[in-house]
Amino acid sequence: MSIPVKRRTLLATAAATLLATAIVPIAISRADSLARVDVYDRSAGEALPIYRHHGRRYVEGQPGNEYAVRIRNCTDRRLLAVLSVDGVNAVTGETASPDQSGYVIEPGGYVTVQGWRKDLDRTAAFYFSDPEDSYAARTGRPHDLGVIGVALFRERPIERQGWFSSDRRSASPSSREKAEADAVGKAADNRAAGETAAAPAAQQPSLGTGHGRGEYSPVQQVEFERASARPDEMVAIRYERRETLVAMGVLPQRRHGWRDPDPFPGALSFVPDP
């Protein structure tokens, strides 16, 4: 009997991908209270540095390059991560809302999402595209390009009946637990609103995310019950071309002839004879 994929039953990674083993040394973005979110440029083979500007987080996207989103669970309990790209749910293809399906991540584990989920076995690769070629624009939703969002939910604790009992029921949270969960959710909403208020005037996005090549990426359905209807934390990362980030003041303007400084500019040599 199939279990409905909504609220309680979500997708979880069933096996690590090759990409996951290639990005173990990531240590660029700060550890959020629940999870750390990184963007990995698969074509360049590197994690993208995260830049902060007016309360927002940005990464530089290279047009045409494939990328992945890696979400690491920093807690000792399972988390649900609902991932949106350009305002579209990366699992269902719906206009994104926090109450939709996502990925369940084990304590201390991580999930590497490489593309739009097509079924339980396949994804269509994410890649940085021109706005008109983005999946969102091609499906009539061009208004939220250039942003990756992750809504994070804690799992409702399970009450075990007896030491050896196999009977498991979801514990009914107390009014205090509900109040605490709602308070955390409201705080996350307030932080998101604060970031928006602190942001500079809106401008047209220079990048979107395309619907790329098909890849094998198996997952399975699992059961997950959220501790609260509100996200416990929300993470947003904007992505733009370098020239756009420079124009926005996120990155400095490079002078003509500018290059990265070399800490050892001299050629390799040895001590000469006197």
260, part of any domain: no
Comparing CA positions, the residue from 221, 5, 200, 192 lying closest to residue 99 is 5
Total structural domains within the chain = 1
Residues in CB range of 88: below 8 A, 6 or more apart:
94, 95, 96, 135, 136, 139, 141
* Cα gap 179→97, rounded to integer Å: 22
52, part of any domain: yes
pLDDT in tens, the chain (274 residues): 333 334 444 454 333 232 322 233 333 334 448 999 999 999 999 999 999 999 999 999 999 999 999 999 999 999 999 999 999 999 999 999 999 999 999 999 999 999 999 999 999 999 999 999 999 999 999 999 999 999 999 999 876 554 443 443 433 444 454 555 455 455 545 444 444 444 444 467 789 999 999 999 999 999 999 999 999 999 999 999 999 999 999 988 766 565 667 777 776 677 878 7
Residues in CB range of 258: below 8 A, 6 or more apart:
none
256, part of any domain: no
191, part of any domain: yes
- Measured distance between the N- and C-terminal CA atoms of the chain, rounded to whole angstroms: 86
111, part of any domain: yes
Domain of 236, in residue numbers: 9-248
175, part of any domain: yes
192, part of any domain: yes
Comparing CA positions, the residue from 120, 108, 119, 13 lying closest to residue 69 is 13
